[in-house]
Amino acid sequence: MRQLKVIEILAEQKLLQEVKVSGWIRSFRNGRFIALNDGSTINNLQCVIEDDVLNKETLDRLNTAASITIIGILKESEGQGQRVELEVKKLSIEGDANAEEVKKTILSPKKHSLELLREQAHLRIRTNTFGAIMRVRSKLSFAVHQYFQQKKFQLVHTPIITSSDAEGAGETFKVSHLDFDKVPKNEEGKTDFNKDFFGKQTNLTVSGQLEGETYAMGLGDIYTFGPTFRAENSNTSRHLAEFWMIEPEMAFCDLDKNMDVAEDFIKFVVNYILEHSKDDLAFLEKRLLDEEKQKPLEQRSDMPLREKLAFVTENNFKRVSYTEAIDILKKSKPNKNKKFKYPVDQWGVDLQSEHERYLVEKHFKCPVILFNYPANIKAFYMRLNDDGKTVRAMDILFPGIGEIVGGSQREERLEVLKDKMKTLKIDQEELYWYLDTRRFGTCIHSGFGLGFERLVLFVTGMSNVRDVIPYPRTPGNAEF
């Protein structure tokens, strides 16, 4: 007999048919009613044990968190709360769970704090909240690939280990095969990386962009979707040391088209979740509403979760130049009343999260795309505008999140790029291969990066990025 998923049984509702299902006990009450969940859906399948079907020894082992397999007959439910239920004919226990031990964990059927769930990250997937989050994450991941594949982009797997630092920030995790107790030194007394595995100093990637650009110069439109690493000592609700990035690169594409693609992409994947994760979104929305009842009115969301997601898909993002944004911020009440932690007093300052959220949540009240940033606060590879002081960069800002996308039209002019690298003391010999793309058939090209966890954060309504990735890596924490 083919084993069915709970989501299949509840969807098909093939009454009076014999079905087989496996899962974990969420609750067992009155010695008769099992709430069974197999992770395929937020909804449980109620299984009913009639008298004399199971012996006392088996009944005594039916505890919360135990895993079981049931063969039974699907019937209309006589009780409230579900349309169908499974009348148990055969039941086998696959894995026991000691009731007293379960009480000491987050598997016990009661409300637990998110902080406690993080401490037991290996078990939190068995809770409703994290089951819903991770199913949404899975579907979002699929939607990412579906969007780009439908648009004829090619998926490129860029290196995890690299010798380049695309951002130029230097906040990288070093990769080495050297014996740390016997580190070889060169004549200057520094670590001799010539004797290391790769014969040079290497690190975990902070971005696949530079390598992605080289492939866009042959394949046209490409995208990467993989893990990236930043050694930033940032202990905040928005930062991780290990996270996933989506980075498309497009040949023959200027900044305007780049913004069009980024907006279209975000709307597509959010729409996909609205269509394919209805039960999980309904659960997460209710959870968020219950949570916000504890907050002051001014701190509550303006819209319920699903309404907020629909608002994003149904409205155009507001496009605003950096210069216009600075004027708005300088004249804003929080700035005039010195409420901003980082005052906005002049053109050229780097915008902080508080500024981004003010623009999105208070001033425009919709997603915002900022463009044409000062050159001196952006990366070397961004295309210099004719004014000589701004670059064709763009950031997409979202409510509750701040920056969710960062991108630009890339500098395609070899001499301009070399001058910028020289000014910033970036080794041109080390990046000869990157410069080659400007030597052999250069063209206007653009791309952007989207932090996947921030997208999941927005779509699920969660407030801490550590709760939307299975095992968060943060300063001082690499457990599990």
CB of 322 within 8 A of CB of 374?
A: yes
Bridge partner residues of 448 (DSSP): 407
- What is 191-202 written as a DSSP string? B-GGGSTTSS-E
> Token pair for residue 322?
């950096």
For residue 341, count other CB atoms closer than 10 A to its CB: 10
By C-alpha distance, which of 213, 206, 121 is closest to 167?
206
Residues 381, 373: Cα–Cα separation, whole Å: 13
Residues 410, 176: Cα–Cα separation, whole Å: 32
Residues 209, 289: Cα–Cα separation, whole Å: 39
Phi-psi group of 112: left, alpha or beta (phi > 0 → left; psi -120 to 50 → alpha; rest → beta): beta
Mention every residue, 6+ apart, whose C-beta is less than 8 A from residue 183: 191
Return the domain boundaries, the chain.
Answer: 3-103, 128-171+206-317+366-467
CATH no. of 128-171+206-317+366-467? 3.30.930.10
pTM: 0.94
Tell me the backbone φ, ψ of residue 36, rounded to 5 degrees.
-105, 135
pLDDT one digit per residue (tens) for the chain, 480 residues: 889 999 999 998 889 999 999 999 999 999 999 999 999 999 999 999 999 899 999 999 999 999 999 999 999 998 888 899 999 999 999 999 999 999 999 999 888 999 999 999 999 999 999 999 999 999 999 999 999 999 999 999 999 999 887 666 568 999 999 999 999 999 999 999 999 999 999 999 999 999 999 999 999 999 999 999 999 888 888 889 999 999 999 999 999 999 999 999 999 999 999 999 999 999 999 999 998 888 888 778 888 999 999 999 999 999 999 999 999 999 999 999 999 999 999 999 999 999 999 999 999 999 999 999 999 999 999 999 999 999 999 999 998 888 999 999 999 999 999 999 999 999 999 999 999 999 999 999 999 999 999 999 999 999 999 999 999 999 999 999
Tell me the backbone φ, ψ of residue 425, rounded to 5 degrees.
60, 40
Bridge partner residues of 371 (DSSP): 321, 394
- CATH level 3 topology of 3-103: OB fold (Dihydrolipoamide Acetyltransferase, E2P) (2.40.50)
